Structure 1
Amino acid sequence: MRAKNADMTAGERQTHLAEEAVAAGLGFCAGAAIAYLFDPARGRSRRAKGRDKAAHARHELRDGLGVLSRDLTNRSRGSAAAVRYRVAGRSADDRILYERVRAELGRHVSHPHAVEVHVQDRHVTLTGAVLAAEEERARRAIRRIPGVKHVEGGWVVHDDAAESPRLQGPGRRREPVPELLQQQWSPTARFLAGAAAAGLLALPGGLPRPVAWAIRAAGALLAARVATNLPVRRLTGLNAGRHAVDITEGISIDAPVATVWALVSDYSVFPRFMPDVLEVRRSADGRTSHWTISGPAGTPIRFDATETGREEGREIAWQSAEGELIAHTGALRLAEQDDGGTRVQVRLAYNPVAGAAGHAVARLLGANPARKLRQDLMRLRSYAESRRQPVGSGGV
């Protein structure tokens, strides 16, 4: 064995050590999995839970493949119709051309109601009012419509909307957004992007190491985008503001709205039923509150929150102050139920470190914000139902 090790080159020794490390890691993971699944006390429930999750994953996969199949079919039909539109659409009559022009105006003009369209023998005349920043772009788009022979711009061009009463009011162009720039990707786009990600991950074979790592990083980022169907800014948390992760939870409480409102509107009582909330202090203006909560390993975390809206007895909305480590915003709404109880609905959006990817890692490590929110709502229910009567109103 020593002679064999002596005959190895430095590169071979490194490869051998890496293989041994991988084998040891796999062995450790296999042993941990066996110990976890066959634990005498909780192994049976864990295996049952694993079977349930596997069945759920199969159902999700089957449904996802069905959605992908239908989306591919519909998009193929749409592409064929678009080709027919470009090829055979030139024989359209004036009535059809009029509808096409009106539809195109809605994509390129912020006030399409201010424009009048006249079509005669496939010649389009545009009258009315239009902004100078939109005029040339709209004219070019209409000129590209199949069947249109000529476009005459008889409209009045204005540099500012204030120059014409017809251009008053809010306006918004409905410009088409490319598929890959949309917030949510279609199943077909995710499928094609996933194939591209797999190709990027498998591509860097004999490439220089920096180039190979860059390609692998791009492939991994694209794969994460496909898997989560979240924009990159929400996935990474960069420039995502307070909306990288959205959580919504609700609970029914067997107590009147007045009792629940008195609790949720007075943050100073939160430490009584929320063990992670250590202290809440109000500022002099009454709108800002200073929080101290228990973070990882019991480390205290301090942040400021400001009320952004309040409807007495019904709703409170808030957001964290600028510059906080974990930016967040949320709203809590109460609704009276038919049985006299209260329905509490909480919407929370926050941007953890590393965005949605950091949220996923936190869940793997056991720090699940959604589960903590559910637990806090259950504690609120127990505390409110034990009181039954209003405890007095307070403010943030």
Structure 2
Amino acid sequence: MELTATTTVRKPSSEVYAFWRDLGNLPTFMAHLEEVRATGDRTSHWSASAPFGKNVEWDAEIIDEATGEKIAWRSTGNADVPNAGTVRFVPAPDGVSTEVHVVLTYDIPGGAVGKAVARYFGEEPHQQLDDDLRRLKQVLETGEVVRSDGAPWGKRARKEFPQRPAQPLSDSDLAKGAET
């Protein structure tokens, strides 16, 4: 499976690159990552949650890097989920922001059946990547992942409402609440 996503962060590319390159920062915005630990200058060990309460782990190596511009990696050895990816950090036309372009490729455990089951349980990979990049933007621009009062934990596999800006209840909503 190949996933692509892009976001624009209102920070200079050198700052966005440095944040991403410190691999220990990745779990602050990538919801499924439990830990990323550097094991060398270009190697790391990753641990992530997977559907059905499972955990997956793998080692990875950076295979191509241009400081401030690009990081490319691939899993090594017998990874639970073989994967590879590239992140590009491109100065945005406004001269202040950075466009973050992500391309991920990986083998989903269970193939097409695993993909269908994961989607059924709210683990749609394209949406996960979009959500991760939205959280990256929030962390870099505000210092935290912003959550509304209506969904303090964000979306979590169909158990909660999607995030949206907090709003006062309408008169009809108040009347419905009073009836119950």
TM normalised by structure 2 equals 0.72
Partner residue in 2 for 1:125: none
> Is structure 2 residue 92 aligned with structure 1 residue 313?
no
Secondary structure in structure 2 of the residue aligned to 1:367? coil
Residue 292 (structure 1) aligned with residue 70 (structure 2): no
C-alpha deviation, 1:304, in angstroms? 0.9
Shift of 1:258: 1.8
Q: Distance in 2 between matches of 1:364 and 1:276?
A: 17
Task: Give 3-state SS (helix, strand or coil) of 1:346's partner.
Answer: strand
Closer, same or farther: CA 281–316 of 1 in aligned 2, 3 Å: same
Residue of structure 1 aligned with 2:120, choices 357, 364, 374: 364
- The aligned counterpart of 1:376 is 132
Unaligned runs of 5+ in 2: 144-180
1:29 aligned residue: none
Letter of the 1:308 partner, please give it. Answer: I
Asked if structure 1 preserves the Cα contact closer than 8 Å seen for 2:57 and 2:80, the reply is no
Q: Over aligned residue pairs, what C-alpha RMSD do you find?
A: 1.7
Q: Following TM superposition, by how much is the alpha carbon of 1:271 offset from its aligned partner in structure 2, in angstroms?
A: 2.5
CA distance in 1, matches of 2:26, 2:72: 16
Note the 1:201-350 alignment, pairs <5 A: 245-284=1-40, 286-339=41-94, 340-350=96-106
Q: Deviation of residue 315 (structure 1)?
A: 0.5
CA distance in 1, matches of 2:55, 2:74: 20
Task: Judging by fraction of residues, say which structure has more helix.
Answer: 1
Task: Report the CA distance between 1:255 and its aligned residue.
Answer: 1.4
Aligned to 2:161: none
How far the C-alpha of 1:297 sits from its partner, in A, is 4.0
User: CA separation in 2, counterparts of 1:304 and 1:348?
Assistant: 16
More strand per residue: 1 or 2? 2
Q: What is the match of residue 152 of structure 2?
A: none
C-alpha separation in 2, matches of 1:276 and 1:323: 20
Identify if the C-alpha distance between structure 1 residues 248 and 309 changes in structure 2 by more than 3 Å, giving closer, same or farther: same
Give how far 1:357 is off: 4.6
Q: Pick the aligned partner of 2:141 from 376, 385, 392.
A: 385
Looking at CA atoms only, which structure, 1 or 2, has the larger radius of gyration? 1
Specify the SS of the correspondent of 2:11: coil
| Distance across 2 between alignment mates of 1:246 and 1:384 | 26
- What percentage of residue pairs aligned between the two structures are identical? 35
- Residues 141-172 of structure 1: CA distance to partner in whole angstroms, max 9, x if unpaired? xxxxxxxxxxxxxxxxxxxxxxxxxxxxxxxx
The whole-number CA distance in structure 1 between the counterparts of 2:29 and 2:109 is 27
1:361–1:272 Cα change, 3 Å: closer
- CA distance 1:345–1:356, shift in 2 (3 Å): farther
* TM-score, scaled relative to structure 1: 0.34
Preserved CA contact (<8 Å) 2:44 2:61 = yes
Shift, 1:348, TM fit: 0.8
- 1:268 counterpart letter in structure 2: G
CA distance in 1, matches of 2:73, 2:115: 21
Distance in 2 (alpha carbons) for counterparts of 1:279 and 1:304: 12
